[in-house]
Chains A and B, each alone.
Chain A
Amino acid sequence: MTTESKIATRILTALAEYLKRDVTTIGLEHSLRDDLGLDSMATIELLFRIEEAFDLQIPDEDLQGLVTVADVVAYVEGRLKPSTPSRTAKQPAKRAPARKKG
């Protein structure tokens, strides 16, 4: 198993644990919001787990690029590659909400 697919597995497992569902029901192509039902707060909670798991800090402005599970995997892979600039997530087709009422 390559490092990259290991990252995908860890992220899928984290998602499955968070959503309390079988990992086989979650695909890389799934949209966090539209397919998995994560609202902006739930996305932040998930990313909190991922930050912890991979020892990362994900800046607010990078959240917009994280629409699908594959986006999250690609983002984490990019961040873990040595000497890669921090903001490597591809630009979003649509904006993932990450906003609060206050």
Chain B
Amino acid sequence: MNTRVVITGLGIVSPIGIGIGQFWKAALEGHSGISAIRAFGDLPLEAYRCRVAGQVADFNPAQYLDPVQAERIDRYAQFALVATKEALADAGLLMEQENPHRVGVIVGAGMGGMVMGEREITQLYRSQKPNRVHPNFIPTITLNSASGIVAMAHGAKGPNLTISTACSSSAHAVGQALTCIRTGQADVVITAGADASITPLVFAGFCSLRALSTGFNDEPERASRPFDRARDGFVMGEGAGALILESLPHARKRKARIYGEVAGYAATSEAYHMVIPREDGAEVATTMSLALRDAGVAPRQVDYINAHATSTQIGDAVEVKAIRQVFKDRADRIMVNATKSMVGHTLGAAGAIGSIACALGLETGQVHPTINYDDPDPACTLRGISAQAQQRTIRIALLNAFGFGSNNAAVVFKKFVR
């Protein structure tokens, strides 16, 4: 019998709120965090096909972090640090009372420290002065900078890992944290996902890939519209989500509040295409089935799915097709929502933020709306998708996440029963 793993703390930095309270209230009310991009330095903004994003407005790192430390780390790592601090406080986990070698850190990041990365590359080529490249450039752009910074900030000396699988990074981080605790490598894993790469180069790259919405530049709040007929690409977001995962015995010993259980996980590869999913949905269906089997749960028991649903034409349709394959008659009775409709696609943070929606769903029975679901697309309609918030007891929740590089993840969450 596997060690049971529970969620005992949550933290978030998102385009609709910093802090779980603010995020959840905004999510249930269906706020959009998508806004117009005001400037990319001196670059001509009109040359970007997409000009909207889910931006964390008015984020002042000095409000949350030591100002000297804050200045030395990239925006995505600042987000990760703020979110993990909140999650640890929420869990009531006092590091001075823990064996530090039994506390791990696993962070999902898709792009990493691109704010400084782009700045330094630009300055090097403009100035032609290699000796003026910032000494902190390498430690910042190394993709595990956030997981290192988080571990140092909290004194966590257990496994320290970064998972980078593009858009599914932090779903895999949650899954790997589950594995880490199940296999006895740690009692607690500070799990997070973070990205902040709404930067001139990365954003231009996503534009060139024709992955982003282009039809709603004048109506940013309507741009991210998963499952809606008029969806035309994803909207980039930024942020971080953090969850404290803990073995059940450890959580019990310290009488921690338990949001829910992380019960199963699957990771697969479609081995198909860097950016295009298989249209038949077979691999996505396999991933969900494997995660359910790992959790010892039958498809008919699932109450809620936090969908990957990025608002691309093909991605949303493939996911619904796969949900129908796995859940058959049950498919239309499951509540399904897309957190990205409000926060955009936060890349490396998306899986963690979706996991937070699952944890809060288990605890409260509340499922936030999928905003802009105005005209259901017949190609991806499920009765359980709603533009309104829903409420029903959730015993089993499922998180989907799919990433460039042909990879899929699914995580199963269970209502905690003693």
Contact = CB atoms under 8 A, between A and B. Distances in A.
A56 interface: no
B82 to A, nearest CB: 25
Interface in B10-51: 47, 49
B389 interface: no
A71 B217 CA distance: 28
A99 B402 CA distance: 14
Given A99-B276, A100-B234, A101-B275, A63 B310 contact: no
B274 interface: yes
A101 B210 contact: no
A60 B210 contact: yes
Nearest to B213: A60
Interface in B298-355: 308, 310-315, 345
Interface in A30-54: 39-41, 44, 48
B54 interface: no
Interface string B250-287: 00000000000000000000000111110000000000
B75 to A, nearest CB: 21
A48 B208 contact: yes
B214 interface: yes
Given A60-B210, A99-B313, A102-B312, A41 B233 contact: no
A19 to B, nearest CB: 17
B233 A60 contact: yes
A102 B232 contact: no
B209 interface: yes
Given A41-B273, A60-B233, A100 B315 contact: yes
Contact of B167 (A39, A97, A98, A102): A102
A97 B274 contact: no
B366 to A, nearest CB: 26
B275 A100 contact: yes
Contacts of B310: 101-102
Contacts of B167: 101-102
A59 interface: yes
Interface string A72-102: 0000000000000000000000000111111
B208 A101 contact: no
Interface size class of B (residues with CB under 8 A): 20 to 34
The size bracket of the interface on A is: 10 to 19
B49 A101 contact: no
Interface of A is mostly: loop
A101 B308 CA distance: 10
Contact of B276 (A39, A57, A61, A63): A39
Nearest to A44: B210
A87 B7 CA distance: 52
Contacts of B312: 99-102
A98 B210 contact: yes
B211 interface: yes
Contact of A41 (B49, B214, B275): B275
B403 to A, nearest CB: 8
B137 interface: no
B213 to A, nearest CB: 9
A100 B211 contact: yes
A86 B215 CA distance: 16
Given A60-B49, A60-B233, A102 B214 contact: no
A101 B314 contact: yes
Contact of A101 (B215, B232, B404): B404
A69 to B, nearest CB: 20
Contact of A100 (B47, B215, B276, B308): B276
Contacts of B214: 59-60
Interface string B378-418: 00000000000000000000000011100000000000000
B276 A102 contact: no
30 contacts: A39-B273, A39-B276, A41-B274, A41-B275, A48-B208, A59-B214, A60-B49, A61-B215, A97-B276, A99-B315, A100-B210, A100-B233, A100-B275, A100-B276, A100-B315, A101-B167, A101-B275, A101-B276, A101-B277, A101-B312, A101-B314, A101-B315, A101-B403, A101-B404, A102-B167, A102-B310, A102-B311, A102-B312, A102-B315, A102-B345
Interface of B: 47, 49, 167, 208-211, 214-215, 232-234, 273-277, 308, 310-315, 345, 402-404
Given A59-B49, A60-B232, 20 more contacts: A40-B276, A41-B274, A44-B208, A57-B47, A60-B214, A60-B233, A61-B215, A97-B314, A98-B210, A99-B312, A99-B313, A99-B314, A100-B209, A100-B233, A100-B275, A101-B312, A101-B402, A101-B404, A102-B234, A102-B312
4 A-B pairs with the lowest CB-CB distances in the bound complex, closest first: A102-B310, A99-B314, A100-B211, A101-B277
